[in-house]
Amino acid sequence: MIKKSFPWHILMFPLCPVFFLYVHNNLETSLDSLTKLVIYGLSAILLAFVFFKLIDIILKDRYKSGLLASAFFVLLFFFPYSYLLNQPSLVIWAMYLYIASTSLFCFFSVLILSTKKDLGNVTRYLNFASMCFLLILMLNFLFSSFINKDSDRVLNQASHSRQTGGMQNPRDPDIYYIIFDAYARDDMLKEVYQYDNNELLSFLKSKGFFIAHKSTANYNYTLLSLASSLNCVYLDDIRRKMGEDSADKRPLLDMIRQSYVSKFLKSRGYEYIAFASGLQDTEIRNADRYIETSNPSETLFEFENVLFNNNLLGALLNRYYKKRELQIHKERILQTFNNLPLVANNGHPVFVLVHFMTPHPPFVFSSDPIYSSYIFADATQLHHMDSKLVTKYREAYREQIEALNGHIKRLVDGLLKSDGEKIIVIQSDHGPRSFTKKEESIGILNAIYLPDGLEVFQDHPNLTPVNTFRIIFKKYFAQNMNPLDNKTYLIEDTRKVYKWVRLDAWAPVSPGSSHDQK
């Protein structure tokens, strides 16, 4: 009697979506996410094996049991049911996909169960094919790492001649860099969202803040915007070295996590404090103090959300899962507001970096059930350029701003009441994206408080983030850093992070553009 081959494909296919997503996002994931993904992968293998053994006990046919198990896991993991359910205009397509894929699975199952043919060759072919696929993914990962091996050095190679150190001055002020993701400039709020933000701006002025009423983002994408502002440079050198078609985000992540601003301030004796944002790209775990205000074991970061959104299990648990994730996200924001005024250290100055993922969607302070349903999606992923959905987007955004402004005022009061001199920068990385006006995504909130007057900013009504710390470092630390010309660049496809154009050369995006995230 010939011993039947073991259907190894039942263990390979559940690994494929996990490994595929990791390989194609490995430049954005952390060790924590990778650890979770290994756990997910092992759990999928265990579940697949148990499912296979149960079927095999019933059918007593290893080949048929293996094929049914693999078909089931293809149905479970290879279709983006949950993603479609979270898109208001695509819910019907989720139902069509579910009906079509389930029908195909049933047909395939009947075909397998009814056949009298020996399925050994099919099993061996699937074993070979699944192993080859995993091998290709591994080679893809290794090749990507090899051809981009010098990307970790790009930041140092691209840096300009700036002074990077100095002795600590006992009177160095605490510095708070507070970024509100996608907070629109006041004229954009009034024109596009019919919201008058004068109450907040008047409050900030009464507290001594300078308001840059004509401020624009240097880049309309979070990763680019913060890499630029935290290093006081434009990113032209990085683009030349990486190439416009590169998808390697590691140099940009390095520029955020090992920024010139943080290194300079640490060299002067500052303690670097970073709060968790919930967005993987801006988690600064290498800070002197990294403050996670929610339970990290309960939090799924951006990449893990992609994994969860591309399987049937995610769809089945969608309502509970999204409700819980939204609650965690809201709690993180509120706890960060509460804890931020308490982190100052009287022994030495602190540099505090906070990236609030608000008023960017999900609109956790909005009553709209549609636009409170998807983590970190934006723009066409939410409204698909549909006029009715765009209107809902604007209404939900207004509610978000209204609630957020109250928290900002309480935060400013708390910071100013705390001991010691301080510099407070309240800034947005880019604007929102209802796509009503082309300038909407680049007009930003930009408010700065200095302990000894704002004369240094009075000539900069159109101040952009790249110059924020240039001006501050020159005034307070005698750094030879003159302001750069204010420029704005726009990116339309986040898969090509180094492909951007100047604002004056930009054409409005089309509904299908990949201009949807962060």
**Residues 311 and 400 grouped into a single domain:** yes
Burial class for 455, CB neighbours closer than 10 Å (0-12, 13-18, 19+) = exposed
What are the distances in angstroms from CA 469 to CA 161, 265, 358? 15, 11, 23
Q: Does residue 513 fall inside a structural domain?
A: no
Q: How far apart are CA 243 and CA 499, in angstroms?
A: 8
Q: Domain range holding 267?
A: 151-505
CB atoms closer than 10 angstroms to residue 323? 12
Q: Which long-range contacts (CB under 8 A, 24 or more apart) does 1-7 make?
A: 4/62, 4/63, 4/120, 4/123, 5/120, 5/123, 5/124, 5/127, 6/62, 7/52, 7/62, 7/63, 7/65, 7/66, 7/67, 7/69, 7/70, 7/123, 7/126, 7/127
CB atoms closer than 10 angstroms to residue 355? 25
Q: Does residue 512 fall inside a structural domain?
A: no
Q: Does residue 431 fall inside a structural domain?
A: yes
Sign of CA dihedral 203, 206, 211, 213: positive
Amino acid making up residue 40: Y
**Residues 321 and 244 grouped into a single domain:** yes
Which of 94, 112, 147 is a domain's end point? 147
Q: How far apart are CA 45 and CA 135, in angstroms?
A: 17
**Residues 254 and 238 grouped into a single domain:** yes
Helix (H) or strand (E) holding 289: strand 289-291
**Residues 118 and 221 grouped into a single domain:** no
**Residues 29 and 73 grouped into a single domain:** yes
**Which residues lie across from 219 on neighbouring strands?**
489
**Residues 138 and 177 grouped into a single domain:** no
pLDDT of residue 24: 60
Q: How far apart are CA 89 and CA 197, in angstroms?
A: 31
Which of 79, 114, 147 is a domain's end point? 147
Q: How many domains does the chain have?
A: 2
Report the length, in residues, of the chain. 518
Q: Does residue 2 fall inside a structural domain?
A: no
Amino acid making up residue 249: K
The stretches in the chain having pLDDT less than 70 are: 1-4, 18, 21-34, 36-37, 77-94, 141-171, 294-322, 368-386, 436, 504-518
**Residues 123 and 236 grouped into a single domain:** no
- Decide: 234 and 218 in contact? Cβ < 8 Å: yes
- Decide: 220 and 431 in contact? Cβ < 8 Å: yes
- Predicted model pTM: 0.77
The three-state secondary structure class of 359 is coil
Which of 147, 172, 192 is a domain's end point? 147
What are the distances in angstroms from CA 464 to CA 7, 220, 223, 461? 59, 12, 16, 9
Q: Does residue 338 fall inside a structural domain?
A: yes
Mention every residue, 6+ apart, whose C-beta is less than 8 A from residue 196: 189, 190
Burial class for 437, CB neighbours closer than 10 Å (0-12, 13-18, 19+) = middle
Q: How far apart are CA 392 and CA 210, in angstroms?
A: 33
**Residues 132 and 173 grouped into a single domain:** no
**Residues 269 and 293 grouped into a single domain:** yes
Q: Does residue 515 fall inside a structural domain?
A: no
Torsion of CA 214, 259, 401, 175, to 10 degrees: -90
The runs of H, that is alpha helices, within 340-467 are: 380-383, 387-417
Tell me, what CATH number does 208's domain have?
Answer: 3.40.720.10
Q: Does residue 294 fall inside a structural domain?
A: yes
**Residues 212 and 307 grouped into a single domain:** yes
Q: How far apart are CA 336 and CA 410, in angstroms?
A: 12
Q: What confidence tens digit (pLDDT) does each residue in 345-374 have?
A: 777 899 999 999 999 988 888 776 555 555
**Residues 250 and 320 grouped into a single domain:** yes
| Cα–Cα–Cα angle for 187, 192, 198, rounded to 5 degrees | 40
Q: Does residue 487 fall inside a structural domain?
A: yes
pLDDT of residue 100: 81
pLDDT of residue 108: 86
**Residues 117 and 240 grouped into a single domain:** no
The tokens of 241 are what? 């070295």
pLDDT of residue 518: 61
Tokens 């296919």 belong to which residue?
Answer: 13
